[in-house]
A and B are shown apart, each in its own frame.
Chain A
Amino acid sequence: MNRNLVIGGTVSLLVLAVALVSLVWTPYPPTRIDILHKLAAPSAQHVLGTDPFGRDVASMIMEGTRNTLGVAIVAVLLGAGLGVPLGALAAARGGWFDALVMRTADLAFAFPALLTAVMITAIAGPGAVNAMIAIGIFNIPVFARVTRGAALSVQARDFVTAARATGRSEAAIVWLHVLPNIAPVLIVQVTIQFALGIIADAGLSYVGLGTQPPAPSWGRMLNDAQTFIYRAPLLAVFPGLAIMLSVLGLNLLGDGLRDLLDPRLESRR
């Protein structure tokens, strides 16, 4: 067992656990406003203090975990769900289909991601669902490219050529031989995109385009905190730590998985 995998796995499980616990329990209802106790410092009642509306920061961060993970998970599912088949098909078919998929991927990469997300939310209105779509759209070409690249190298190998000789359909070959062999690469990519999704969601929420109130989100908590940075500086610290911890956990997990699943890369480390 490598160290990255253990630390990353533990932290990620912890984050997941917090998200799950928030489904059934938070210290206070995270939307409960208590104006008379606004901007309280951390104490026994409120372990991380209260925000400008007197809401419990710890509860908000807990529920924020759930909201952020939700956005990032759906964005990854969207990206992998569409990107992997597209990339695998592009590699298998080649020709105009390959060219089309790759040029479309170029087009997507050419757009400044965040600004496109801004435009998407300007049309559809801001909100968690649209944040999922805006982030997920940019995951599609990533997965398509990675899948295509990995699939191309696998396809050249003997066992695929052999399978092709038996007259198996292209789809069956992709499903039975190519995908299982590129799974390690994809799993690692999932953790990377997951982590990037968390940062992107926080960024969108920071500029007011992600998860909408009253549902709490880390990014918006940071934005609120900036207004009160002279009076309650700690408010700007906790949500950021939550982001950093989640992303760090996922990145370590990804590194650990890469070492575990793809020994050839081990030599580089």
Chain B
Amino acid sequence: MAKHIGASAFAILLALTGPALAAKDTLSLGMVLEPPHLDPTAGAAAAIREVVYANIFEGLTRIDAKGEVQPGLAESWTVSPDGLTYTFKLRANAAFHDGTKFDCGIVKFSYERAVAADSVNAQKGFFEPIVSTACPDPATAVVTLKRPTGLFLFNMGMGDAAMVAPNTAATNKANPVGTGPFVFKRWVKGDRVELERNASYWGKAPALRAVTFRFIADPSAAAAAVFAGDIDGFANFPAPETLDRLRGDKNFAVVIGTTEGKTILALNNTRKPFTDIRVRRALAHAIDRKMLIEALSGYGAPIGSHFIPTDPGAVDLVGVYPPDLAKAKALLAEAGIAPGTEITIKLPPPGYARRGGEVIAAMLEQVGLRAKLVPVEWAQWLDQVFKNSDFDATIISHVEPHDLDIYARDKYYFNYNSDAYRSLYKSYVEATDPAKQLDLVGQLQRKLTDDLPNVFLYALPKIGVWNAKLKGMWTNSPIAANDVTGVSWAE
């Protein structure tokens, strides 16, 4: 705190003695995880996107702060009535940071690279519907699809569909070269990535001259860095327990937003005792979601189905399984589960899982279930739980937007096999009338709540903490990104 006083005294001194300082034009933003590399077309890590999305790399479309599709490197487009042909009009003056010109050839290269046999694109599926990309002239790209794909424009705005140039595509991991308003400057491994303003950007120049992403995994270190003013803020602040202190401080803005993270206690529906719906419902009654949220951060909304409460079409199903220990015990007894029965919960590294697991174990103990907590690294989680379904229960946040389809898949790690759900989902995908779509989204949520393949816990909050003078930061997190192109400092 002494530091703050010193700094403000210094500022006053300057104000009295000289002309006003120029407005600040640099930003230092904290991130919890360091990206493994910086190529969004060759890895799934959210941290990659949190550095490069919209800042360094751009796609034909872009996703805005509300999760809506906006023009990117394509200034406009038309879609044929059958929904199979997309004609993009491309920006005429866009170029890569190394001077390579952006034109339709780049689009063709980027999309064909993503579906090539040796492609390492984490979302190769996005490009699978593409039949061909044609270039009638350098400023026009015509993409033809196999079948109508409702989310195509949205998907082409994701980082995985970023435009990359043939001469730099192979080296983007360590030295990303895109078309965005910021140029990669350097990466001090284990500490930070630095970006600089792109002087020859095709669009509106950003207000910031330089941007630094600092990687601070430890919550207490993150809090200390914010308090000390070492960094200007965190888009996703990892230390919610210090928010009380920050809220009282006029220098900081604390902004609670939403994410697409549906945090669930996922259950292996083919493994006893979770084959029995009474057991699954007993778990739902045993877990007090409000208390769980309170114990973790105090932020986030309880969910009653696999759906974010603020998304269009959400149905409030939180009250279907209220906390009720007596009922939970009765259901367990009915299902023939003896008190003291042990279940194993595998916990991946994030705090919502590791700390949440401790809370849930204590809650389950009250209804006579012994939860054995097994912490796993991501590598093990992907291998054991996700790939091989070798688990009883796990705590995980599904952060992908619009992912009701995972319950309709033939083989997905929690093994929910419901033909009724699948046919319901099929009619939802085929529905064209928006009202009917919304109705079906509601039915899908209800079906999930009723069958309860997993215990739905809460929607992961986005806790933003930054300098109160910072403008233009995203409140919500519709996709993984730290789009700072619109960020500026108040005078």
Interface residues of A (CB under 8 A from B): 31-33, 35, 38, 52-53, 122, 125-127, 208, 212-214, 226-231
Contacts and interface: CB of A to CB of B under 8 A. Distances in A.
A33 B374 contact: no
Contacts of A35: 291, 294-295, 359
Interface in B354-380: 354, 357-359, 361-363, 365, 371, 373-377, 380
Nearest to B241: A228
Given A35-B295, A125-B374, A227-B219, A214 B362 contact: yes
A125 B376 contact: yes
B358 A53 contact: yes
Given A35-B291, A35-B294, A212-B373, A227 B239 contact: yes
Question: Which of A38, A213, A228 has the most chain B CB atoms inside 10 A of its CB?
Answer: A213
- The secondary-structure label for the interface of chain B is helix
A227 B373 contact: no
Contacts of A231: 241-242, 244-245
Interface of B: 218-220, 223, 239, 241-242, 244-245, 291, 294-295, 354, 357-359, 361-363, 365, 371, 373-377, 380
Interface core residue of A35, A228, A229 (most chain B CB under 10 Å): A35
A213 B373 CA distance: 7
A33 B371 CA distance: 14
A31 B360 CA distance: 11
B337 to A, nearest CB: 20
Contacts of A125: 374-376, 380
A229 B220 contact: yes
B220 A213 contact: no
A242 to B, nearest CB: 20
Q: Which 10 A-B pairs have the closest CB atoms?
A: A33-B362, A213-B358, A35-B295, A227-B219, A214-B361, A226-B220, A227-B220, A35-B294, A35-B291, A213-B373
A125 B361 CA distance: 19
B162 to A, nearest CB: 33
B294 A122 contact: no
Nearest to B358: A213
A231 B219 CA distance: 13
Contacts of B242: 230-231
27 contacts: A31-B361, A32-B362, A33-B358, A33-B359, A33-B362, A35-B294, A53-B295, A53-B362, A125-B374, A125-B376, A125-B380, A127-B374, A208-B354, A208-B375, A212-B374, A212-B375, A213-B373, A214-B361, A214-B362, A214-B371, A227-B219, A227-B220, A227-B239, A230-B223, A231-B241, A231-B244, A231-B245
Contacts of A228: 220, 241
Contacts of B239: 227
A28 to B, nearest CB: 12
Contacts of B358: 33, 53, 213-214
A214 to B, nearest CB: 5
B395 to A, nearest CB: 13
B374 A227 contact: no
Contacts of B223: 230
B144 to A, nearest CB: 47
Contacts of B363: 33
Given A31-B362, A33-B359, A212-B374, 4 more contacts: A33-B363, A35-B359, A208-B354, A230-B223
B253 to A, nearest CB: 19
B359 A53 contact: yes
